[in-house]
Amino acid sequence: MKPNIVFAFADDWGRYASAYADHEGPNSLNTLLDTPNFDRIAREGALFTNTYVPAPSCTPCRSSILSGQYFWQTGMGAILAGARWDESIPTYPLELEKAGYHIGYTYKVWSPGETKNAPIGAERTAYEPAGTKFSRFSYRATERAPEVGVEAAKEELYDETRQNFDAFLDARPEGSPFCYWWGPTNTHRKWQKGSGKELWGIEPDDLKGKLPEFLPDVHEIREDVGDYLGECMAFDGGLGVILERLEAIGELENTLIVVSGDHGIPGFPRGKCNLYDIGCEVALAARWPGRIQPGRVVDDFVNLMDLGPTFVEAADVPVPETMTGKSLLPVMESDSSGQVDPDRTFVVTGRERHVSIAREGNLPYPQRAIRTKEFLYVHNFAPDRWPAGDAAGLDDPNTKPPSYESLEHETYVAYPDMDASPTKAWMIYHRAEDEVQRAFDLGFGKRPEVELYDLRIDPHYMNNLADDPEYDAPRQEHHDLLMAVLKEEEDPRVVEEPCRFEHEPYTGRDPHREARQRKALGSS
């Protein structure tokens, strides 16, 4: 009997689940939230401790997962704004559909991009009859809470998930295996300020001493992170609905369930759109009774593009030759914990362009990185450019910034490759203060061509050791391995001159989107 495949994939969800608290110590943010449903999957299956995205931007990351390739191998799917799907590229859902699977999704799979969600069948495979309010969880729940109470307000949103999933199940031809993608976007900006405490009881000042070293440990930023952790718990609540329905229809034991997110936390410096761990490291757990032994903790390095060939192989369908990712099935089916596959000792990540007008001339910020157990090595191909988007004079502490409110809510008014947020506003307004300057420079300032961090002594990548003679050997080793992978996989950054990502159509130009962005810039 072919297994069902359910992929729960949260937008902008990094490695935040209570299952990780035991692996990170008492100062971990994961000690502050409770994700019983993710934890159940990890407990009854496998928890992966070193999982990274191929690109910390939603469309290129999802292009990689769907196609099982590095993002630069997906044509126009390698960018965000202006992305177009190349229908000649096989994707795992459509390959499974050819093999008799009933496929479908709720909420986000591959977007923004044309045609929306094309790699999973576009609108014909969408199941959202109950609506899409879940993706605005904190807004909807806090809006309804005064009338019906907090728990009832949450349950209304969980019921939406239940109805949408039931619509997918009801459309399944009798006897067919199914492949479902549940992709809420509630962990993406914007969320309701103060909702972490109001909906989930997360006290902002309980985060004191638990923030990454590069974030100022102040109330405003703690509250912002706390609100985000609340959205992580909301996602987990919806995941519980999916598990409950699978159990009710007798399909839970014949279903491979995989849970993860498409990149790290948005609206925080060095997070989303950056190749540091807070931008690229994500949660991953998988449950498949009889095939994945329960209680395993796997330390192998995993690139999420490996999921495409994994799902195809799990369904006993031939893996397309285009899938350069490496199936996780042998690792999943092993009876070992720790390092299972001796070759899975690193991952390669990369970034080109996020917001199309973040830099003058629609230029990208090209980066590639290699992450090993002990080191993070980052190569910045254009160190003269601003990684968070053009500074517009804000690198000068005497420049008056846009209004505080606009920085909280309008992404494009400053440093457009970082989502608007209370954290962004606070750091820009306090950037001249002695105790904030270094954190601001690390998050917003220009970066050297090469970065090397010894994670054994510097887990928050604060001290770049690329010019330290004592680290010449690991720097060269990581450089050589990274470049070998990029050349083997024909990354345009190292095999093309000039690189295609510098020019149209990869500039991601969209006149309507640009008009909205420039209007926002002008209103600041």
Which pLDDT belongs to residue 523?
A: 43
Bridge partners, residue 4, by sequence: 255
Q: Is 71 helix (H, G, I), strand (E, B) or coil?
A: helix
**Rounded distance between C-alpha atoms, residue 362 and residue 317, angstroms:** 41
Report pLDDT digits (tens) over 475-515: 999 999 999 999 999 999 999 999 999 999 998 765 555 56
Q: Is the distance from CB of 109 to CB of 116 less than 8 angstroms?
A: no
Dump pLDDT digits (tens) for 82-109.
Answer: 899 999 999 999 999 999 999 999 999 9
Assess whether pLDDT exceeds 90 at residue 516: no
- pLDDT tens digits along 4-44: 999 999 999 999 999 999 899 889 999 999 999 999 999 99
Paired sense of beta strands 178-183 and 102-107, if any: parallel
Q: Tell me the CA distances in angstroms from 49 to 46, 186, 274, 301, 324, one per residue in order.
A: 10, 23, 20, 8, 22
What mean pLDDT is reported for the chain?
Answer: 95
Q: Is the pLDDT of residue 521 over 70?
A: no
* Torsional class of 116: left (φ above 0), alpha (ψ -120 to 50), beta (otherwise): beta
Has domain 4-339 been given CATH number 3.50.50.60? no
Encode 91-103: b = buried (16+ Cβ within 10 Å), e = exposed. Answer: bbbbbbbeeebbb
Alpha carbon separation from 231 to 61, 147, 237, 400, 419 (Å, rounded): 21, 21, 10, 33, 16
- Domain ranges across the chain: 4-339, 350-523
Pairing of strands 284-287, 46-52: antiparallel
Contact between 27 and 209 (Cβ < 8 Å): yes
Task: Give the per-residue pLDDT at 510.
Answer: 55
With tokens 């400053």, the residue in question is 414
Look-up of token digits 């799979």 = 109
